[in-house]
Amino acid sequence: MQKILVARGIFPDVIERLKQYFDVEWNDGDALPADELKRRLADKDGALTAGDPIDAATLAAAPRLRVVANMAVGYNNFEMAAFDAHNVLGTNTQDVLNETTADFGWALMMATARRIAESEHWLRAGEWKKWSFDSFLGTDLYGATLGVIGMGRIGQALARRAKGFNMQVLYHNRSRVAPEIEADLNAQYVSKEDLLRRADHVVLVLPYTAQSHHTIGAAELAQMKPSATLTNIARGGIVDDAALAVALRERRIAAAGLDVFEGEPAVHPDLLTVPNIVLTPHIASATEATRRAMANLAADNLIAGLGEGPRAGQPPSPINPQVLGKARS
């Protein structure tokens, strides 16, 4: 039987599915330190990860490893050049989380614009003594301009919801999407600078890469309207968190909602002390149904990628399908 490592806590019934095909080692505890992960992968044929870093050194130390299935759509934890060089298949969980993540983007954007967390903290602290016409004045969403940076599947699902709010949709992306998608979403392609200048609510939904590091830093925050909000449901590192804390404290933008952070689960201490922010612990895809779908898709990828089950050799969401069928090197 081939051996696999499930590197993270996951639904036990998915472990039972995997046991039908593999000898399963399961780390049901905290994320493994890099050295421990490397040691445990040394004799494995496959792995199921959830954001755990898999780099060239880890792959070199695991000569049997042929498939690593990430339980996430983002795979910036994989050094893909090394996967390609070693003919190791990486897979992700694309599509099954689009709608759930787009729902959450809206929840966070709305909570940010309408100051829900800030006012709740104030209420819980016993500060609410009287109703006042100017308490927690926020920013409207209905009829406002939405700026989406990153128009992949999740960005499109997010933009589609803007129709119900009668919003103008601007977007920026590495490449322009097909005209029929633009028409369906009523979305206009603009430069990043134009989007930052014109949007009332900016939402980040782009993948994290070396090129997207600090897509939003001090210079970009300075281009935004003082009344604008910023929501990040993409990845930590896309926003310069230190610069954002300064912009929020100085009210250069109205508010921010962050689900992801540079160096998470650590959070930049300055973000914890500014009031005009909503902070959530990377939960955009966290509904029972979607996390189950993600776990099962990761398992499907691993089973098929390692040549087992009804779809043997045809994993549903390969990142680098060109290595399929090639010998491990």
Q: Is 188 helix (H, G, I), strand (E, B) or coil?
A: strand
Would you state the structure tokens that stand for residue 22, as one six-digit string? 């593999």
Nearer Cβ to ligand DGY (74/316): 74
Name the pairing type of β-strands 46-49 and 67-70. Answer: parallel
Give the bridge partners for 305, in sequence order: none
Among 24, 72, 278, 295, binds ligand DGY (CB under 6 A): 72
The CB-side HSE value for 109 (13 A sphere, CA atoms) comes to 31
Catalytically active residues are: 235, 264, 282
Among 9, 74, 307, 316, binds ligand DGY (CB under 6 A): 74
What track of x and - describes contact with ligand DGY for positions 254 through 293 (by CB under 6 A)?
Answer: ------------------------------xx--------
Give the bridge partners for 193, in sequence order: none
Tell which residue, 81, 10, 97, has the closest CA to residue 47.
10
Residue 207 touches ligand DGY, criterion: CB under 6 A = no
Give the bridge partners for 168, in sequence order: 145
Give Rg (Cα) of the chain: 21
Tell which residue, 307, 259, 304, has the closest CA to residue 282.
259
User: How big is the site for ligand DGY, counted in residues (CB under 6 A)?
Assistant: 7
Nearer Cβ to ligand DGY (85/283): 283
Alpha carbon distance 298, 126 (integer Å): 46
Nearer Cβ to ligand DGY (285/317): 285
Residue 102 touches ligand DGY, criterion: CB under 6 A = no
Would you state the structure tokens that stand for residue 168, as one six-digit string? 């103008």
The CB-side HSE value for 17 (13 A sphere, CA atoms) comes to 19
Nearer Cβ to ligand DGY (91/145): 91
Residue 206 touches ligand DGY, criterion: CB under 6 A = no
Of 9-17, 72-80, 103-111, 184-192, which part binds ligand DGY (CB under 6 A)?
A: 72-80
**What backbone phi and psi angles, to 5 degrees, belong to 122?**
-65, -45
Of 66-74, 117-125, 181-189, 223-231, which part binds ligand DGY (CB under 6 A)?
A: 66-74
Residue 169 touches ligand DGY, criterion: CB under 6 A = no
Within 81-100, which residues bind ligand DGY (CB under 6 A)? 97
Residue 323 touches ligand DGY, criterion: CB under 6 A = no
Nearer Cβ to ligand DGY (4/154): 154
List residues binding ligand DGY (CB under 6 A): 51, 72-74, 97, 284-285
